[in-house]
Amino acid sequence: MKEHFLDDSITQPFWDNSIAPRLEINLGDVVTFECPEPTGQVTPEWTADNLKQWDPSLAHALIGSVYVKGAEPGDALEVEVLDFQHKGWGWSGHIPEFGLLSEDFDYPYIHHWRLEGDTCHFGVQGITLPFQPFCGVMGVAPAEKGRLDTIPPRSNGGNIDIRHLGRGAKVWLPTMVPGALFACGDCHGAQGDGEVCGTAVESPMTVTLRFNVRKGANIPELQFETPAPLDKLAGRYFATTAHGPDLMENAKNAGRYMIDWLVKTKGLTPSQAYVLCSTAVDLKISEVVDLPNFIVSAYLPLQIFAD
């Protein structure tokens, strides 16, 4: 086993199976990725005016690609998540025309977090979240020719935003081209299931991963194992629910009800509440069998509040 390092001097804000890899490794090797701030441009000094003018072509600022010797089409690339180290800061926000409730929030807003040890400090009302890091984007080169943007998830993985892919997880990705050509980035310090405003605690981080291959696995899409418990928090939750025949509308309404509750009971602004929902609230499909209506629930851990 060898250890390798990839710095952030070159970023890859796209998927493309024709580009030359930055690194070639053997099975069992470990790679440390120096992942920049996920959009490749936001700094701790940014304001809402800066966010209004962000350049989406720079996102996501991925690090890679890595050619894994022995990985061939039909195999599953195994990625073992070993460690994350943050840089002390992160941000969340909402951008016009992006996010679950973009019709409700048609203006830019940015919120800066302080990361210290294993805690993410919201900076309002004493709210804190546990540092539960993961890569929002992990993927391999797609089979299709040409350059593809990184915003939607695809069969090659990509912008999956699965918050349980933290330390100790094992991820399997379908290998589509020789060597797999793996890249990662979009690191999050904390996120709720759903990432409803479109951002989590977006953070630059140092990420360490180990690579192997399951020969002939022929998996259709990403699969993973993750250690229990799924959350560092233990205690009570407050939840809102919404019903109806459309799961997307139910998710929107459950989120709206939670935002209203946070504004009324915790004194947050609507934008602060929306961002907190994106970073701390888990959307869950509670039932999909009782036609014509389904239920979506939004769970908020009450332990994040100082009181």
pLDDT tens column, 240-260: 999 999 999 999 999 999 999
Separation of alpha carbons 15 and 117, rounded Å: 33
Distance CA 203, CA 132 (A): 12
How far out from the chain centre does Cα 216 lie?
28
Give the closest residue to 64 by CA, choosing from 77, 53, 76, 54. 77
pLDDT for residue 150 is more than 90: yes
The residue type of 143 is A
State residue 232's pLDDT score. 86
- C-alpha–C-alpha distance, residues 136 and 162, integer Å: 7
Read off the pLDDT of residues 29-40 as tens digits, 9 standing for 90 and up. Answer: 999 999 999 999
Burial pattern 68-92, b for ≥16 Cβ within 10 A else e, equals bebbeeebbbbbbbeebebbebbbb
Cα 125–127–129 angle (5° rounding)?
A: 170
Q: Which pLDDT score is estimated for 176?
A: 98
CATH of domain 3-215: 2.60.120.580
Packing angle, helices 270-280 and 247-266, rounded to 10: 120
Give the pLDDT confidence of 70-88 residue by residue, as tens digits: 999 999 999 999 999 999 9
Task: Provide the whole-model pTM.
Answer: 0.97
pLDDT band (50, 70, 90) for residue 151: very high
